[in-house]
Amino acid sequence: MKIRYLILSFGIVCFSLSDTAIASEPLLECARKFKEEHQKAARYECYDQVTGVSSAISSSSIDNLDVPSNKKGGNREIRVEAPDKETKYKPLADEWSLNEDSKTGVQFYRPMYFIIRQTDRPNSTPHSPHHIATSRQDIDRQEAKFQVSFKNELISPEKSEKALAKYWPENWRLWFAYTQQSNWQIFNSRNSSPFRTSNYEPEFILTWNTHEGVVSKLPQLVNFGLVHQSNGQSDPYSRSWNRVYVQGGWQMSNNLSILPRLWYRLPENKSSDDNRNIAAYLGYGDLVLKGQAFQKLDYTVLFRHNMRTDRGRGYVQLDIDLWGLRQYLPFHFKAAPHLQITTGYGESLLDYNHHQTTVGIGVAF
Q: In this structure, are strands 314-321 and 107-108 parallel, antiparallel, or unpaired? A: unpaired
Contacts with 88 (C-beta within 8 Å, 6 or more apart), sequence order: 108, 298, 321, 323
- Whole-number Å distance between alpha carbons of 302 and 292: 15
Contact 289, 320 (CB under 8 A): no
Cα→Cα distances 227→140, 147, 284, 315, Å:
31, 17, 14, 20
Contact 306, 296 (CB under 8 A): no
- Whole-number Å distance between alpha carbons of 322 and 89: 12
- The angle subtended at Cα 196 by Cα 194 and Cα 200, nearest 5°, is 115
- Whole-number Å distance between alpha carbons of 100 and 103: 9
What are the b/e assignments for 123-138, b being 16+ CB within 10 Å? beebebebbeeeeebe
Residue type, 111: P
Active-site entry in 228, 240, 271, 355: 228
Q: Is 160 a catalytic residue?
A: no
Active-site entry in 102, 193, 230, 253: 230
Q: Is 247 exposed, middle or buried (0-12, 13-18, 19+ CB in 10 A)?
A: buried
Q: Is 230 a catalytic residue?
A: yes
Active site residues: 228, 230
